[in-house]
Amino acid sequence: MINLDVSKEELSLIEMLLVKEEAQTRIEIHHARRSFDYRDYLKTREKEIHDLLERVRKSLSEASAS
């Protein structure tokens, strides 16, 4: 595991970028209706983005509590 030292502002920026990427990936999934392999790839990517976004939000809430 790699530890990354970022400020609260940088973490907020990462959160914003992940939210945008998550929304964009959902749109891409919708447009990939007939390409099943690509759609499966996008669904996996969406899950990874969502999980990472949850970790970032958890870190943000912990940073706000301190």
How far apart CA 34 and CA 53 sit, in angstroms, is: 28
Instruction: Note the pLDDT tens digit of each residue in 15-57.
Output: 999 999 999 999 999 999 899 999 999 999 999 999 999 999 9
State yes or no: pLDDT of 64 exceeds 90.
no
Q: Give me the pLDDT at residue 65, please.
A: 87
How far apart CA 59 and CA 65 sit, in angstroms, is: 10
Q: Are 29 and 43 in contact (CB under 8 A)?
A: yes
DSSP 34-58: T-HHHHHHHHHHHHHHHHHHHHHHH
Question: Could you tell me if residue 35 is left (phi over 0), alpha (psi between -120 and 50 degrees) or otherwise beta?
Answer: beta
State yes or no: pLDDT of 66 exceeds 80.
no
